[in-house]
Amino acid sequence: MILVALIAGLAALIASSGPALALDKVTLGLNWLATPESGGFYQAVVDGTYAKYGLDVTIEPGSPESNGGLLLLTGKIDFFEDGDLLGNFLAEERHLPLVVVAAEFQKDPQIFMSHPGVGLNKWTDLPKAPIAYVSAGGVYSFYAWMVKRWGFKDSVVRPYDFNSAPFIIDKHSIQEGYLTSEPYAIEQQGHFKPNVFLLADYGYSTYSCLIEARRDEVEKNPSLVQRFVDASAIGWYHYLYGDNAKANAEIKRENPGLTDGQIAYSIAKLKEYGIVESGAALKLGIGAMTDARIKDFFDQMVMAGIKPDTDYKKTYTLHSLTRASASSLGQATARAVQGPEQRLSRAR
């Protein structure tokens, strides 16, 4: 009995005094405020998924004035949640060493909206609108593509400063937006349901919610990059299909202006439109990318003004997506947390 007590006491002493394995500290910068569109990252923090992968992750929300790409280049952050691949093509034109290692969104949530019942009910009607409210960034990205591909006009553009009041007032105008945000605001403020056109449905084939890293980090520390990609994918599965209450509470703490209604709407639209789970992600898991898809978007952006000799293959790597851990573990997690109704819906 004395020997057993000594062994037990020694084990307790070792457990209490032995050094814990240090987690790798990582900072993820967002390209916007904390919202459900970044929910999977917050989920992986609050439910301990990042910690299980040896990561101590800090999330830094962005703002309209922040420049996450610059913060990444200067080493202020380790990963950046970028919006779409166009920025990476432009970065490569300037020989900036940025690399996309995963794409959490298979579809870009970028949309255009119109009023119902005024002759703007189809996508091909929208170029006839006398006014298009477009943000400064949108003019040189997706709207430039819309002009080249679908015949929209630069002459009708008016600045969109994230205030939808002018669109609500003018029934014959159209306005850009985010699938998970602006339509909800229009319904609340304008008391009508706008027509919603997801650009991805009309050929705007970029991935979105990109995980971006510096090239030197990808080359010198592939294990850290791999662990971050894997854990983020699982975080997204948990956020969409598991208990996301703590993640949403953290998002609201960072962005107090968000309501529970807005959060619920956003998550529902992410699921309804297959923003996270569609395309290659259905087989390979969240975060998946393919060479063919990126080549398709690059060719479209060449039509919109990207230099055709840009070495777009330097803008991404599939290395962190070719190992089975991310997809198989992520899909196993999804099956575990999904209910029968959700599994049936996906099977359809």
Domain C-terminal end among 183, 202, 221: 202
Is residue 179 in a domain? yes
Q: What is the pLDDT of residue 65?
A: 73
Domain identity same for 116 and 180: yes
Torsion sign across C-alpha atoms 171, 201, 272, 254: negative
Q: What's the rounded Cα separation, in Å, for the pair 107 and 87?
A: 16
Cα separation of the two ends of the chain = 63
Is residue 16 in a domain? no
Q: What is the pLDDT of residue 10?
A: 37
Domain identity same for 320 and 215: yes
- For residue 174, give the CATH number of its domain: 3.40.190
Query: Using a CB cutoff of 8 Å and minimum separation of 24, what contacts does 11-19 make?
Result: none
Q: Do the Cβ atoms of 35 and 62 come closer than 8 Å?
A: no
Domain C-terminal end among 184, 202, 220: 202
Domain identity same for 174 and 251: no
Alpha helices in the chain (DSSP H): 2-17, 39-46, 49-52, 68-73, 86-93, 136-139, 142-150, 165-169, 182-190, 215-220, 222-241, 245-254, 260-272, 281-284, 291-303, 324-337, 340-347
Is residue 58 in a domain? yes
pLDDT in tens, the chain (348 residues): 443 343 344 344 333 333 456 999 999 999 999 999 999 999 999 999 999 999 999 999 997 777 888 999 999 999 999 999 999 999 999 999 999 999 999 999 999 999 999 999 999 999 999 999 999 999 999 999 999 999 999 999 999 999 999 999 999 999 999 999 999 999 999 999 999 999 999 999 999 999 999 999 999 999 999 999 999 999 999 999 999 999 999 999 999 999 999 999 999 999 999 999 999 999 999 999 999 999 999 999 998 889 999 999 999 999 877 443 444 444 444 444 444 334 323 432
Domain identity same for 258 and 164: no
Q: Domain tally for the chain?
A: 2
Domain C-terminal end among 151, 180, 202: 202
Is residue 19 in a domain? no
Is residue 8 in a domain? no
Domain identity same for 233 and 311: yes
Q: What's the rounded Cα separation, in Å, for the pair 58 and 148?
A: 40
Q: What is the pLDDT of residue 332?
A: 45
User: Largest Cα–Cα distance in the chain?
Assistant: 90
- For residue 96, give the CATH number of its domain: 3.40.190.10
Q: What's the rounded Cα separation, in Å, for the pair 347 and 110?
A: 26
List the domain range (segments joined by +) for residue 177: 110-202
Domain identity same for 290 and 223: yes
Domain identity same for 255 and 273: yes
Bridge partners of residue 99, in order along the sequence: 213
Q: Who contacts 24 (Cβ-Cβ below 8 Å, separation ≥6)?
A: 54, 55, 56, 224, 227
Is residue 164 in a domain? yes
Domain identity same for 129 and 149: yes
Is residue 302 in a domain? yes
Domain identity same for 139 and 98: no
Domain identity same for 83 and 223: yes
Is residue 3 in a domain? no
Domain identity same for 86 and 216: yes
Nearest CA among 103, 113, 130 for reference residue 178 = 113
Domain identity same for 186 and 335: no
